[in-house]
A and B are shown apart, each in its own frame.
Chain A
Amino acid sequence: MEGIVDLQVFQLLTAYIFILILLFIVRKRGIKREKEIIISSIRMTLQLILTGYILTYVFSNSNPFITISVICIMETFAIFNIYKRVKSPLSFNLKKIIALSMVIGTSVSILYFILIVLNLSPWYNPRYFIPISGMLIGNSMTGISLGVNKLVDGMISKKHIIETSLMLGATPKKASKSIVNNAFDSAILPTINAMVGMGIVFLPGMMTGQILSGISPLSAIKYQIAIMLGILGSVSLTVIIFVQLGYKTFFNNEHQLKL
C-alpha cells in the first residue's frame, strides 16, 4: 500500500474550482441553474462528510445489527426515491409492489453475493457488506424506476390495444404481455449497455477507488466483474418481480381495465 496520496484538505479545496468555472459559465450565458449547482455541491459535500464519519463508526463497531440497520435505511431511501422519480401518479397498490420487489429482489441478490460469491466472514463485515449492498440497491433503484415509468406509460398509451385484446377474450396477462416485456427490457437495457462499455469507455467508480487506494488492477477487476454480475442479477430480479406483480394492479377481479 505504498505511495498512496492522502489528499490534504487544502488540496481538496482547490478542486472546487470546477464548480466556480461552471457557475461562471451559466451566469455568463444566463442559464438559471446557479441555485441548483450551489445546493447540490453543498449537499454532496455535507452528505459525504457525514457518510465518512458514519462509516468510520460503523466499520470500527462491526456488528450485525448495525450493518442490517444501515441496509434498511438505504433501502427505504431508495424506495422513496423511486416514488419521487416516477412522473405518473402511482396507485397505493403499485407503491406496495415497488417496495416489495425492491426488498425481495435486492435482499436475495445481496445475500447470495455476500454468502456465496464472496463467502464473507463474518457475514456482516460492514466494510464489504455496506458498499456492495449500496451498489446493488442503487442500480436496482434506477432499473425499477425505468420499469415503473414504462409500465405505467404503456398501460395508459396502449389502453385501446389492451381493451381490444380483452374483448377478443384475452386474459389480462396476455393482453398486457407486450407492455410488460417492453418495461422489463427498458429497465435492464442500461445495465447491459454498461457492461459493454466497461473498462474501455470508462473505469467504473468502484474499480477506480480500489486502484487509487493501492489495490492491484487485477484484484480490482475481479471485484468489478463480480459486482457487475451481481448488479445485473439484482436489477433483473427486482424488475421481473415488479412487472409480474405490477401489471395486475391495472385490472380488477372481473378482469376489467381500471383506467
Chain B
Amino acid sequence: MFVLENIKYKDILNIKNLTIPERKITCLIGESGSGKTTLLKLLNKMISPTKGSIHFKNKAIKYIDSIKLRRNVVMLSQTPVIFRGTIKDNLLKGLNFSEKPIVNDNTLKEILSKVHLDKSLDLNAKELSGGEKQRLALGRIMLMNADIYLLDEPSSSLDENTEDIIINEFVKYIKTNNKTLVMVTHSKTIAKTYADNIIEINKGKVKGEI
C-alpha cells in the first residue's frame, strides 16, 4: 500500500525499497535514533522526503493533499499530547479536527473501556498519569475510525501488564475492522507476537538492504 523508492530524508534516512502491505500489521523495530519516527512521519506527510518517491495506493504521495491523507492515515506520536479540557474534550478533538461527525457519550464511554481507562468523561485530562494520557490519546484516534494507523511506541509509558492488554485490544480492533497498522515498538516480543511483517531500521537504513 505504501511503496517507498530511493528515499532520502536529510542524513537521517536512506531507504532503497520498502513496501508496507495493506490490511496487515507491520512492526518497525530498531535502536533509538535509527529513524523510525522519521519514517512514520514520511507516511502521513508530516515531512516530505528530500529525495525519492512514496506511493500510497499507487498514487504518488506528493500529489495527495496532506490534510486528506492525515485524516485517513492517523498517527499517534511517541509522547502523548493532551489538550486543555476534560477527557471528553480530548476524545472529541480528533473528530473535530478531521471534521467527522460528533458521537454521543455512550460511544465515548465504550472507547474508554476499550483502552481500559476507567475515568469519568468530565475529569480534567491533566489529572491523568503518563500511562493514562497515552491510553486517552489512543482512544482519541480509535474514535476517528481511520483506515490506517501509525503508532509510535504506543506503549512506551505503560507497564508491561497494561502494555500487553492495550496492544492486544488495539490489534483486535485493527483485525476485526480490516484496517492497516504500522507500529514502532521497542519490544521484540510484541513484534513477534503481533506482526505479519517486521522491518528493522538500522542507522537510517532498512536492515538487510545495502
Contact = CB atoms under 8 A, between A and B. Distances in A.
B141 A168 contact: yes
B66 A255 contact: yes
B179 interface: no
A167 B149 CA distance: 11
Interface in B57-107: 66-67, 70-71, 74-77, 79, 81, 83, 93-94, 96-99
A256 B141 contact: no
Contacts of B140: 168
Interface in A149-184: 160-161, 163-171, 174-175
Given A170-B97, A254-B66, A161 B46 contact: no
Contact of A160 (B76, B81, B97): B81
Contacts, number: 58
Given A254-B48, A256-B46, A256-B48, A169 B70 contact: yes
B64 to A, nearest CB: 10
Contacts of A256: 45-48, 66
B81 A161 contact: yes
Question: Taking each of A168, A171, A255, A256, which has the highest tally of chain B beta carbons within 10 Å of its own beta carbon?
Answer: A168
A168 B66 contact: no
A256 B81 CA distance: 18
A169 B81 contact: no
23 contacts: A160-B79, A163-B46, A163-B77, A164-B77, A164-B81, A165-B93, A166-B46, A167-B44, A167-B70, A167-B76, A168-B74, A168-B94, A169-B67, A169-B70, A169-B71, A169-B94, A169-B99, A169-B144, A175-B97, A254-B66, A255-B67, A256-B45, A256-B66
Interface of A: 160-161, 163-171, 174-175, 254-257
